[in-house]
Structure 1
């Protein structure tokens, strides 16, 4: 019984067992062109004969492959947008799933075009830049920087969340600087000149984002500043990022007074941190009230903030498959929805630590 599996070492030949032994089935190019049918003929591998045809295209040369790799800026495409996470060898599957393999299979280049997934992918790239960059394979590293280039172009064109990408590039430039200085102590895939070129590109992106000017499109109708105070306050109470509140408060004096509301910062502390965290050491103002704004930035130094994303990857506990919820996966459970677990960016990294 033949073993059916995805083996990258297989050349894709077909074999037939005869009385004289195993013989390879080779498709005849002449018959395909003449009859447009896949007529097979037997080729005895013991004869040492080679099949030659001038109409058959030759394999690409090394220079052509390098040119193709240099011009390719898209992600490696797979039919399935999910991946089976296995951490040990079994009779059916050998080896284990790596972080780079998952990074290539889950179609992050398409995910960053979705506003719900943009922050999730950017945060994941930031975590990989901090600690897991050298664990990626060569193909995964190339995919990583291609996706990063798409993200930077999107931010420069749409001005969408530039602060998050600035932080990402800052962490990545620091990591690359350390790796280049300590090249003899760590293992880098690729030439050192390639990594220096990547660092120079990142520094150029950082300069472009620092010089980014937010374009405001003002119409003839009412603007954000014309809203009533109650509506402005409701907008601020729906923000989960402290810097969004501060930046909005710099627009006008009325926005500033609303952004300094201690009740607003108290709700923000309750959202990101538990009561046990901020009840240990309270910070008071001169009037004897709790300074919730200063409390928030103090707690931020010691505790992680609550993460909020429009859409995340999901993990099926029954099938051990990681996937985007919209794309789905071939689940065999009776109740597939009961087996799903949202995967945070940090949980994604932890899944591939063996």
Structure 2
């Protein structure tokens, strides 16, 4: 094992304990400098049997220790990796040893910038939700810190922009349920001190309270509003939605939108988009007049079968290079950038979109 640091024969370093943690003071063998400039009002000198002086604070209570653990894992003091691509290798070869894990991929890919792009926002949130349900314990300690860093930025963005709060509420609900189970079973299932996870759980509960108290600000506009659009355009907007809950929410804005949101053909096309004919034929629900209630059929099918996922932009995987990357379409048009150092003759034919579940499956060995 290579030696990194000062000469092992030296007496070492003197450390002092401050409110921000332990900090190096200087070599033990050197003469002490001006003690008055180094001592804090909260630091006391203790003389040991070997006449060496070390500095420590008063004994802290258990509650203060929890605050200290939480400070060391403060989400605002962490660093984000800003790589656009990573090589996904699942086994050792003569040229490369080791393999890429889910935690390493989550650390190295630039998820903190991806949430600022509205096309990638829902994709990252869905990925975090899947990790919270089943893969949280497989992350390393650094990856778990980075996970909560990204989550903190997501909550801050939602509180500021009021963008899709329902999606974040579902994520926090799944995460809090997972942490409650893991913390009750014992700290052996989690990386790090149990006090850290208790503080994180308290933070999640605080975020949930902030989102539940979120009030949508009414925007004052003197120009054209949604209600001023023709009925054909409003109907076209409703047909663009792929989530039935969004259709119901928009229908609550005005009476006109409510009538359009109850259109049977709208819900029929939504059922045909997400489910096969064999699936919804098994769950047909009829009205009193004998017609099919496609709205009720949709929500009944949603409980039994997964719906199609739709994202503005996703991670890409190059089958030729085995590289996972974010593709910047602006650079691709201007500079013909493929997003990663690809060696294929036709790189675009090697790219495949990676769904959140596919991203997790890439690292299952």
Q: TM-score, normalised by structure 1?
A: 0.80
Query: What corresponds to 1:36 in structure 2?
Result: none
Check the 8 A contact 1:75/1:107 in 2, yes or no: no
Quick one: structure 1 residues 212 and 11, their matched pair in 2 at CA, closer, same or farther if it must change by over 3 Å?
farther
Query: What corresponds to 1:105 in structure 2?
Result: 108
Moved over 4 A (4+): 9-13, 58-62, 64-72
Deviations 1:315-353 (A, max 9, x none): 111111111112711111111111111000000000011
Q: How far off is 1:183 after superposition?
A: 1.1
Q: Structure 1: where are the runs of 5+ without partners?
A: 1-8, 14-44, 51-57
Quick one: structure 1 residues 70 and 149, their matched pair in 2 at CA, closer, same or farther if it must change by over 3 Å?
closer
Query: What corresponds to 1:317 in structure 2?
Result: 319
Q: Distance in 1 between the 2:75 and 2:360 partners?
A: 30
Q: Distance in 2 between the 1:161 and 1:221 partners?
A: 24
Q: How far off is 1:220 after superposition?
A: 2.0
Matched, 1:141 2:144: yes
Query: What corresponds to 1:248 in structure 2?
Result: 250
Q: How far off is 1:59 after superposition?
A: 11
Matched, 1:183 2:186: yes
Deviations 1:241-284 (A, max 9, x none): 11111011112222111111110001111111122211233211
1:77 to 56, 77, 81: 81
Q: How far off is 1:73 after superposition?
A: 3.5
Check the 8 A contact 2:15/2:22 in 1, yes or no: no
**More displaced stretch, 97-106 vs 251-260:** 251-260
Q: Distance in 2 between the 1:60 and 1:120 partners?
A: 45
Number of aligned residues: 307
2:305 to 280, 303, 328: 303
Check the 8 A contact 2:81/2:109 in 1, yes or no: no
Check the 8 A contact 2:80/2:112 in 1, yes or no: no
Q: Structure 2: where are the runs of 5+ without partners?
A: 25-68, 329-337
Query: What corresponds to 2:343 in structure 1?
Result: 332
Q: How far off is 1:201 after superposition?
A: 0.4
Q: How far off is 1:103 after superposition?
A: 0.1
Quick one: structure 1 residues 192 and 228, their matched pair in 2 at CA, closer, same or farther if it must change by over 3 Å?
same
